[in-house]
Amino acid sequence: MSHISKEKAEFKIVDAFNGLEIVDADYQEQTFSKHVHEGYTIGVIDKGAQRFERSGSIHIADENSIIFVNADDVHTGESATQDGWRYRAMYPHPSHFESMTNDLYDGQFNAPYFNHAVVKDPQLSAQLRLLFTQIDNNASKLLIETILYSIMMYMTLRHSSMKNTPDDISGSKQRLLLAKEYLDAYPEENVSLLTLATMAGLSQFHFIRQFKKVFYIAPHSYQIQMRLKKAKTLLMLGVKPVQVAIDCGFHDQSHFNRHFKKAMGTSPSKFQKQAVLYKML
Over the stretch 105-126, which tens digit does the pLDDT of each residue have? 555 556 789 999 999 999 999 9
Fold of the 171-275 domain: Arc Repressor Mutant, subunit A (1.10.10)
The H-or-E segment that residue 134 falls in is helix 122-136
Q: What is the pLDDT of residues 54-75, one digit of tens each?
A: 978 999 999 999 999 998 889 9
Note the pLDDT of residue 150.
87
CATH 2.60.120.280 fits 8-161, yes or no: yes
Q: What is the pLDDT of residues 208-241, one digit of tens each?
A: 888 988 888 889 889 999 999 999 999 989 999 9
Query: Do 8-161 and 171-275 share a fold?
Result: no
| Sequence spans of domains, the chain | 8-161, 171-275
Distances (CA, A) of 269 to 99, 128, 272: 34, 28, 5
Note the pLDDT of residue 223.
92
Nearest to 237 by CA among 13, 24, 10: 13
Helix, strand, coil shares, percent, the chain, to 5: 45, 20, 30
Counting as low any pLDDT under 50, the low residues of the chain are 1-4, 164-169, 280-281
Give the separation between CA 43 and CA 127, rounded to whole angstroms: 11
Beta bridge partners of 79: 50
- Is the separation of the CB atoms in 88 and 65 below 8 Å? no
Note the pLDDT of residue 1.
41
